[in-house]
Amino acid sequence: MAEDYVRPPIIGAEPPSRRAAAWRFRLVMTLVVAILAAGIILVIRAITTSDDNGGAVGARLPAVTAPPGR
């Protein structure tokens, strides 16, 4: 059985900082949550401020007629 030789890296480098990785994760997750919250707020505002009367999709609005006597 032949041994598998793993060549060591040519240039030694320190591993990346775990503290920097934790802060980067926190920053990205904060941005994701902020974007989702803004999207939810925009959807809620669009739904609650619409002039839709809640009728069926594609239903026509009743015709506006002049009051009698005019």
| C-alpha separations of 59 from 5, 46, 49, 53, 55 in Å | 74, 20, 20, 11, 7
Residue type, 63: A
Mean per-residue pLDDT pooled into runs of 10, the chain (70 residues): 76 86 97 98 88 64 69
pLDDT at site 24: 97
Query: Residues of 1-21 as b/e, b for ≥16 C-beta within 10 angstroms?
Result: eeeeeeeeeeeeeeeeeeeee
Where are the chain's structural domains?
20-48
Cα gap 23→27, rounded to integer Å: 6
pLDDT at site 12: 75
pLDDT at site 25: 97
Token representation of residue 34:
């902020």
pLDDT at site 10: 82
pLDDT at site 9: 74
